[in-house]
């Protein structure tokens, strides 16, 4: 029968080998068409082809029932074909699978007693799969535990630097994202699945250790999209709070806020969150779709609305008790200065003292055709946003932050 297999287009592939080093793949000869390497290839050189293959039948024990299915599939695809409710936007589905590249582990199931991400794990004959993991400790791919001299969107601009080495905070980076931004600045992390998955307790211990090592008060969780695996993130924040009971400790989450509903925000704040940096990608769904490369307009609108609503909800309910700084990505290729000004007007109207950081989106990942905004343009951006009444505007530029 014909099966799908991922392969590289020779003229486009630069042999960077990211698809081999970063992606947890059972191998080219045993491609199960999960698609993770296609999403992750910075050159867009990976494609699916159809190929003739003899396909065996496997018996699987899923939630206590035996099923006979064809090999060469991921667990997620099998579950979907058996009628399990899979969703890329709702935690209420039986399986929530937002990144589909093996990083967030929201889609994890028990495989022969071990937690594994269903979206990239191939089926094997005789496998036992359990989908109800409510009582199992969540895990997630998280990496890069180290100190940073520059903070994130949710770092207050005038914080006192206590580290004798000039570090502002320590951070870790969660894998997996539900956006597909061609300008992704953290794509090595966003698509990383071939790394160790950690429980919240172990991740909290590691971040606490580096906090002591770098002698800082701030601990940041960034990504990828940090909020995807809700149970994992809430547990990480409460574990950090437990391990860092001193009043100077700050627990900071950077996020695109696409799934950050009021109940989720409250849960994070109750767990110990002190600082948050949501990104707002445009003032219209059209711009949002250009930046994120999402193709489903309904889904894009849901994420767009949720992110703006999250900022308003935090301002109305938590601002002052926790710190919030908002990020606005900018490049004239996908946003006009008029749209940026509209965003400034909206935010200034809500809270003029809100810290706003404009990120100069540049030709990283797949957007090699765009230019990084010039320093002159970013100075202009700063003037425009300040004229809306915002009192705390920071603009990222090639020569550092314009404050």
Binding site for ligand FES (CB under 6 A): 97-100, 102-107, 117, 119, 176
Q: Which is nearer to ligand FES, 23 or 326 (CB)?
A: 23
Q: Which is nearer to ligand FES, 77 or 100 (CB)?
A: 100
Q: Which is nearer to ligand FES, 106 or 355 (CB)?
A: 106
Report the nearest approach of ligand FES to the CB of residue 170 (Å).
Answer: 25
Report the nearest approach of ligand FES to the CB of residue 96 (Å).
Answer: 7
Cα–Cα distance between 143 and 161 in angstroms, integer? 24
Report the nearest approach of ligand FES to the CB of residue 324 (Å).
Answer: 26
Report the nearest approach of ligand FES to the CB of residue 98 (Å).
Answer: 5
Report the nearest approach of ligand FES to the CB of residue 195 (Å).
Answer: 12
Q: Which is nearer to ligand FES, 119 or 322 (CB)?
A: 119
Q: Which is nearer to ligand FES, 103 or 329 (CB)?
A: 103
- What b-and-e string marks burial along 66-88, b requiring 16 or more CB atoms within 10 Å of the CB? ebebebbbbbbbbbbeeebebeb
Report the nearest approach of ligand FES to the CB of residue 132 (Å).
Answer: 17
Q: Which is nearer to ligand FES, 79 or 347 (CB)?
A: 79
Report the nearest approach of ligand FES to the CB of residue 100 (Å).
Answer: 5
Q: Which is nearer to ligand FES, 176 or 200 (CB)?
A: 176
Report the nearest approach of ligand FES to the CB of residue 197 (Å).
Answer: 9
HEC profile for the chain? CEEEEEEECCCCCCCCCHHHHCCCCCCHHHCCCCCHHHHHCCCCCEEEEEEECCCCEEEEEECCEEEEEECCCEHHHHHHHCCCCEECCCCCCCEECCCCCCCCCCCEEEECCEEEECCCCECCCCCEEECCCCCCCCCEEEEEEEEECCCCCCCCCCCCCCCCCCCCEEEEEECCCCCCCCCCCCHHHHCCCCCCEECHHHHHHHHHHHHHHHCCCEEEEEECCCCCCHHHHHHHHHHHHHHCCCCCCEEEEEECCCCCCHHHHHHHHHHCCCEEEEECCCCCHHHHHHHHCCCCHHHHHHHHHHHHHHHHHHHHHCECCEEEEEEEEECCCCCCHHHHHHHHHHHHHHCCCCEEEEEECCCCCCCCCCCCCCHHHHHHHHHHHHHCCCCEEEEEECCEEEC
Cα–Cα distance between 386 and 380 in angstroms, integer? 10
Q: Which is nearer to ligand FES, 54 or 92 (CB)?
A: 92
Answer whether 25's CB lies under 8 Å from 36's CB.
Answer: yes
Q: Which is nearer to ligand FES, 107 or 343 (CB)?
A: 107
Cα–Cα distance between 226 and 224 in angstroms, integer? 6
Report the nearest approach of ligand FES to the CB of residue 101 (Å).
Answer: 6
Answer whether 230's CB lies under 8 Å from 264's CB.
Answer: yes
Cα–Cα distance between 146 and 10 in angstroms, integer? 37
Q: Which is nearer to ligand FES, 31 or 36 (CB)?
A: 36
Report the nearest approach of ligand FES to the CB of residue 35 (Å).
Answer: 11
């Amino acid at each position: 029968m014909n099966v799908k297999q991922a392969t590289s287009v020779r003229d486009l592939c630069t042999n960077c080998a990211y698809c081999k080093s970063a992606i947890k793949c059972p191998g080219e000869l045993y491609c199960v068409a999960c698609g993770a390497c296609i999403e992750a290839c910075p050159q867009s050189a990976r494609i699916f082809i159809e190929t003739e293959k003899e396909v065996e039948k496997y018996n699987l024990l899923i939630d206590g029932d035996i099923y006979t299915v064809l090999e060469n599939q991921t667990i997620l695809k099998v579950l979907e074909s058996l009628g399990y409710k899979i969703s890329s936007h709702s935690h209420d589905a039986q399986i929530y699978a937002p990144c589909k590249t093996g990083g967030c582990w929201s889609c994890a199931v028990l495989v022969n007693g071990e937690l594994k991400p269903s979206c990239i794990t191939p089926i094997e004959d005789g496998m036992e799969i359990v989908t109800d993991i409510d009582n199992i400790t969540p895990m997630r791919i998280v990496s890069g535990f180290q100190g940073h001299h520059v903070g994130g969107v949710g770092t207050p601009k005038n914080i006192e630097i206590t580290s004798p080495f000039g570090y502002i905070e320590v951070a870790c980076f969660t894998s997996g994202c539900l956006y597909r931004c061609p300008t992704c600045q953290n794509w090595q992390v966003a698509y990383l699945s071939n790394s160790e998955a950690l429980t919240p307790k172990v991740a909290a211990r590691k971040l606490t250790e580096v906090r002591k090592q770098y002698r800082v008060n701030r601990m940041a969780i960034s990504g990828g999209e940090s909020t995807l695996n809700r149970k994992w993130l809430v547990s990480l924040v409460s574990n950090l709070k437990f391990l860092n009971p001193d009043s100077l400790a700050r627990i900071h989450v950077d996020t695109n806020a696409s799934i950050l509903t009021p109940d989720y925000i409250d849960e994070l704040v109750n767990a110990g969150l002190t600082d948050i940096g949501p990104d707002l990608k445009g003032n219209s769904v059209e711009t949002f779709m250009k930046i994120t490369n999402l193709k489903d307009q309904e889904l894009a609108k849901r994420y767009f609305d949720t992110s703006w609503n999250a900022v308003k909800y935090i301002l109305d309910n938590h601002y002052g008790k926790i710190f919030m700084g908002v990020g606005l990505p900018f490049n004239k290729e996908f946003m006009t200065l008029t749209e940026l000004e509209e965003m400034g007007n909206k935010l200034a109207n809500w809270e003029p003292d809100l810290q706003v950081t404009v990120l100069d989106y540049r030709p990283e990942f797949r957007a090699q055709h765009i230019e990084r905004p010039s320093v002159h343009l970013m100075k202009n951006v700063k003037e425009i946003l300040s004229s809306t009444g915002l009192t705390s505007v920071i603009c990222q530029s090639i020569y550092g932050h314009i404050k």
